[in-house]
Structures are given as structure tokens and as C-alpha cells.
Amino acid sequence: MIPDEKVREVRERAPILQVISDYMSLKKSGANYQGICPFHGEKTPSFNVNPARGIFHCFGCGAGGNSFDFVMRMEGLSFPQAVKFLAKKVGVEIPERPLSRDEKRRMDEQEQAFHINELACEYYLRVLESDEAGAAGRGYLQQRGVDRETAATYRMGFAPVGWDNLAKFLQRKGVPLEQAEKLGLLRKREGRDGYYDTFRNRLLFTISDLHGRAIGFGGRVMDDSLPKYINSPESVVYHKSEVLFGVDLAKKGMREQGSAIVVEGYFDHLALYRAGYTNVVATCGTALTPPHVKLLRRYAERAYMLFDGDEAGRKATVRSMELFLEEGFPARVVEVPSGDDPDTFIRREGGAAFAPLLEQSLPIFESFYRGVLKSLDIRSVEGKVAFVNEVSPRLAKISDPVERGLYEKEICRAVGIDQAMLHKKVGIPAAAPRPQQAKAAPRTAATEEVLLTLMAKYPEVVLTVRDHGADKLFNGAHLRLAEAIIAEAGQGELDLSRVLEQIESPEERSRLFSLFVEDAHLEDMDAIKAFEQCCQALERHALKGGGKALARELATVDPDSPRYLEILAELERLRNKKSKLL
């Protein structure tokens, strides 16, 4: 665990304006700085940074936080990783607890794996760029219209003809060859000592992690021989179920576009990326998995699936659909003309021709059930039953009742069946009458929030609230925040970003960041008078609530009882007190 004083030191030495300016352009606007939000697509700036308070908030998508939150979102890091990331930038040394023997062994193994993969990547790159042995790879890329700049962006390489070119290179670099074998770069010779190269006479795509570090390779033949592709196996740094090819290149594009385009092949990825679709990622020879969907959700709000139109591609789309439905993550299906894949389509038609395909894409469930409709003869009872059996399990996975209900109506109309029959098949119970909800009690949240903004702006209000008693003014999460502000202010200058870190609910934090990011309206205000007005408003709320409770009790009490007279006297006292507050 990172000591609190080190977190505070990093925050102080890495001002939020400096941190965010490394990623995006900001312009001064009053006390704040504004820019185009990097977390969703927008044309008018709604992203605000308040340097004095060390916080940011986007009024478009609701993202908000401090410098650590921003780096966590941009780099896909956990909180400790974000602290260490910024600490390294500003020269703060973070003390590490002593690692256990097993932890040190795993860390050493991972670092060695990254090192070996990077060495292999450098070797393959050099062969493709300048060695005579890489001429075949350069010629193949030229045929496919891939220039050197694009090849460098993708860190493409070439594994030359021969059995042990890489093995000899790694040996010269002092790499234990048994470690390179574990990464799938080499294979052990059968029946005798030594190793030989896994990738031979193949064009190589470097598979990178989120931070651009080489973790594996995809090797493609340059003729019709099989297997067409060889991919690196699982290793301590490469887990296929968690990695999407090109995600290091696509992070920025996915944030800006608010979407991700998911394709199957390396060259499909390359074709789209070169055509300007920088939010594209690819599966690495594996089906889409729940970790893949969670990774996409980190950067995008929706996905466009672009798999091959053959039977294998259709099955992959159905499998991915079930994942998206279970995760509640919007996805659409993009269809290219029959016989095409994204690579061939864009090379023939150009990148601009792909935009209408995105616009015409269908929601993934709609695409699925329309495909099932085409494949069956729904004029027969047998066809209708087969259709319902195929569609109903997937329909049940749609969690949004409105979306599911609309699809139910469409499906029943298309097939000619009763909606109640479909409900029975899907397992959705008949709608029960909605219980009548009790009326909400009068809310004082708005007044409490005004008080919180005054506390964040004026130290004298913090002292006044402390003396008055925070528990007499605030409730719930607002009370905890007010007490945290008092405690923080008691230690010196108020660090609002540190205080807001204590709010656990992401929704509540986002709302509070929006509350505190702008404070121009509080300038030149008589803070103590504003505090007193808030107190009066809260007291009026309390009196009103107390009066209603007494009135309800009065209606149930015997008029001849002593309690009846007590309630009348209490009501009169409340009315007099309330009139003095007006």
C-alpha cells in the first residue's frame, strides 16, 4: 500500500493542469480551463479543469475526478498504478514493500518476458526494414499497399527463412533459450539438444499490451500454404482472453469516437486504421470473451462487430452477441458485401465507402433475429417453433425491459405468434401490478449542496459549520463529506481533490465534481450571511416536516385526551417559530 504522505506529495508535484495538458489542449475560461472531452465524442468543449481545486469534470459525459482519476481513465490503470505512473514523471520515489519470494519470482519472470519479447521484436523489425533476408517481406507489403511508415506504426517484422536465426540472436544477447521457448519464440529440437525458431519465412505483427509493450506475435505466410497464421501461445505476459490486438493504438480513437470497431484479422485492422478508423481493435485468433468486453467498456460506449460473413463468422457474432447482452453493452453488426472482408472492401472502394456501412449497421440482436428469419421457413408451424427456440434464449438475456418488450412485439409480428406465448417460452412472468410508492419526504439536498460549496470556497464557513455542528445541518453522504472537509481543513489548507477521493459511489463522486468544478458564482459573496440563509432554509424544512408529522398524529388521537391538547400547543409553537423565519 502506498503511504498517504507519498500520494499527497505526488498530487502536489503533479498539478492537474500540467497532467491533463500532456494529453489534450486546454484554453482558459474564467477561473477554469476548458477543452474537448477525451472520454466521449463532442464538438463543443464541455470538459472543465479547476486548477485551484485540483479537479476536472465533463458536463457532457459526467466524467470527473482528480489527476489520478484522469490518468486511470486515460491509461487504463488502477489507483496504485496511476500514483506510481505520475510519481515516476515528477521524480517522487515510492517505497515498495519487500516482495515475497513467489512475488519476486513472478515479477522477475514477467520483466524477463517483456525484455525477451522486445529483443525479438527489435530483431524482426531490423530484418524487415533493412536486411537482405527481409526482401520477401518488404515485397509482400508493397504488393498490399502497406508503406514503411504504417509498418513501423504496427511494429511489423519479418522472420527470415532458416531454422535458428532468432535463436542465435537471442543467444548472443545472453537470453536463456528455455525462457524464449516458454514465450513460444523457439521450440526444442526433438531427440537432440538445441532449439529452432517458431516463426520462419513469415510476416510478423507485434501484439502489444495497453502500454505498447510487446507480449506476442502473429505470423502470416505470404502464399497459400497452411497454417495461414501462427500466433504466440499463452504466457506470463500474454493472455489471449484479455488482449485485443491494436488496443494500444486505438485507446485514443475509442475515447474520442465513443465506440470501438471489432474485426477478426490483422490486415482488416490495418486497412481500417490506415483509412482513418483509429478506434479499431481485433481479436487475436480467439473468440470474444467477457474480459474483452470489459476492456472495450473501459474506453468505449458501444461496439461495431465486423466479422466475416461465412458460417464461422456468423457463429462468432452470435457468441459475441450473448456476451454483449449479458454485459448490457450496446453493439451493432456491420455487413460488408458478400465475398468481401474489410481489407478487400477498403482497398477496392476506399475508406470513405466504409462510413455508410457503419451508418447502416443494425443492433446486434436485431441482426441476429433477422438472420434467423431468413434461414427458416416461418410459414410452417415447424419453422415458427424452430425460430422461437433459437431466438428466445437470447431474447431473455436483454436486461432492459423496454428494449426487450419492443423486440418482443417485432418478433411476434414477424412470425405471427401471440406475445403471451413468447413470454412463456422466454420465461418472463406476467406483469404484476406496480405497488403504490409512498410519497418522498421533503428533500434538503439542494440546500446542503450550497452549504458544501460555501465550505469548499470559504474557510470561515468551515469553522462556522464546525462550531454549529455538522450533524445538525447535513445528512448521509453530505454529512460524511462535510466532516471530511472539516477534518482536512483542520490540517492546513483544504485539499478538495483528496477529500472527494473518500466518496465511494462513482455516481455520487461525479455529481459532486460537477458541483465543485465551477465556483465563479460564489465570488464576492457574503459567506456568513449565505450560511445563515441556508440554516434558515434547513430549519424551515425541518419545521414543515415536523408539523406534518404532528398533523398526522393529531388525526388519530382522541380529542378528549391530554395528548390532543399537547399536539395543538406544539403545532402553534411551530407556526410561530416558522413565521419568524420568513
Host H or E run for residue 149: helix 148-153
Q: Does the pLDDT of residue 507 top 80, yes or no?
A: no
Identify which of 87-101, 283-297, 498-512 has the greatest average pLDDT.
283-297
CATH of domain 244-369: 3.40.1360.10
User: Residue 90 in contact with residue 10, Cβ under 8 Å?
Assistant: yes
User: Which residues are within 8 A (CB) of 270 and not within 5 positions of it... i.e. 6 or more apart?
Assistant: 146, 150, 154, 343
What's the chain's average pLDDT?
85
Question: What are the C-alpha distances in Å from 196 to residues 2, 15, 83, 236?
Answer: 45, 52, 42, 21
- From start to end of 52-199, where are the E strands? 55-58, 64-65, 157-159, 186-188, 195-197
234 residue type, one letter? E
Residue 433: its pLDDT value, please?
45
Task: Compute how many other C-beta atoms are within 10 angstroms of the C-beta atom of residue 25.
Answer: 11
Q: What percent of the chain has pLDDT over 90?
A: 40
Q: Does the pLDDT of residue 99 top 70, yes or no?
A: no
Query: For 111-169, how does the pLDDT look when each residue is reduced to its tens digit (9 = 90+)?
Result: 999 999 999 999 999 999 999 999 999 999 999 999 999 999 999 999 999 999 999 99
Q: Does the pLDDT of residue 66 top 80, yes or no?
A: yes
The domain locations on the chain are 4-90, 101-231, 244-369, 376-426, 443-580
User: Residue 391 in contact with residue 411, Cβ under 8 Å?
Assistant: yes
Block residue for cell numbers 494500444? 248
User: Residue 419 in contact with residue 412, Cβ under 8 Å?
Assistant: yes
534 residue type, one letter? C
The CATH number corresponding to 101-231 among 3.90.980.10, 3.30.720.200, 3.10.129.10, 1.10.10.10 equals 3.90.980.10
350 residue type, one letter? G
User: Residue 431 in contact with residue 462, Cβ under 8 Å?
Assistant: no
The confidence band for 500, taking pLDDT boundaries of 50, 70 and 90, is: confident
Q: What are phi and psi of 152, to 5 degrees?
A: -70, -40
Mean pLDDT of 472-491: 81
Q: Is 328 left (phi over 0), alpha (psi -120 to 50) or beta?
A: left
Out of 102-116, 243-257, 293-307, pick the least confident. 102-116
Host H or E run for residue 207: strand 202-208
Q: Does the pLDDT of residue 309 top 50, yes or no?
A: yes
Q: Does the pLDDT of residue 400 top 70, yes or no?
A: yes
Q: Does the pLDDT of residue 498 top 80, yes or no?
A: no
Residue 477: its pLDDT value, please?
75
Query: For 519-563, how does the pLDDT look when each residue is reduced to its tens digit (9 = 90+)?
Result: 766 766 787 888 887 787 777 766 565 556 666 766 777 777 777
Query: For 358-396, how does the pLDDT look when each residue is reduced to its tens digit (9 = 90+)?
Result: 999 999 999 999 989 988 988 899 998 999 899 988 998
Mean pLDDT of 100-104: 69
Q: Is 191 left (phi over 0), alpha (psi -120 to 50) or beta?
A: left
Give me 194's grid cell.
Answer: 538445441
Out of 90-104, 287-301, 338-352, pick the least confident. 90-104
Q: Does the pLDDT of residue 281 top 60, yes or no?
A: yes
User: Which residues are within 8 A (CB) of 144 and not within 5 positions of it... i.e. 6 or more apart?
Assistant: 267, 347
Give me 552's grid cell.
Answer: 398526522
Question: What are the C-alpha distances in Å from 92 to residues 86, 392, 517?
Answer: 8, 57, 27
Residue 20: its pLDDT value, please?
92
Q: Does the pLDDT of residue 59 top 60, yes or no?
A: yes
Query: For 261-275, how does the pLDDT look when each residue is reduced to its tens digit (9 = 90+)?
Result: 999 889 999 999 999
Give me 495's grid cell.
Answer: 485539499
Out of 307-321, 425-439, 537-551, pick the least confident. 425-439
Residue 443: its pLDDT value, please?
45
Give me 444's grid cell.
Answer: 434538503
Q: Does the pLDDT of residue 414 top 90, yes or no?
A: no
Query: For 203-255, how does the pLDDT look when each residue is reduced to its tens digit (9 = 90+)?
Result: 999 999 988 999 999 999 998 888 999 999 999 999 999 999 999 999 889 88
The confidence band for 435, taking pLDDT boundaries of 50, 70 and 90, is: very low
Residue 177: its pLDDT value, please?
95
Measure the CA–CA gap between 517 and 58, rounded to whole angstroms: 9
Provide the b/e sequence for 184-215 (b: ≥16 CB within 10 Å): bbbeeeeeeeebbbbbbbbbbbbbbbbeebbb
Q: Does the pLDDT of residue 310 top 90, yes or no?
A: no
Second-level CATH architecture of 443-580: Orthogonal Bundle (1.10)
> Where does 300-418 have alpha helices with state H?
311-327, 342-349, 355-359, 364-375, 381-395, 401-415
Does the structural domain 4-90 have CATH classification 3.90.580.10?
A: yes
Measure the CA–CA gap between 126 and 94, rounded to whole angstroms: 37
The confidence band for 484, taking pLDDT boundaries of 50, 70 and 90, is: confident
Residue 436: its pLDDT value, please?
43
In this structure, the dihedral spanned by the alpha carbons of residues 526, 529, 533 and 535, taken in order and rounded to 10 degrees, is: 120
User: Residue 324 in contact with residue 297, Cβ under 8 Å?
Assistant: no
Measure the CA–CA gap between 450 and 519, rounded to whole angstroms: 11
Burial of 313 (0-12, 13-18, 19+ CB in 10 A): middle
Residue 546: its pLDDT value, please?
57
Biggest CA–CA distance in the chain, Å, is: 110
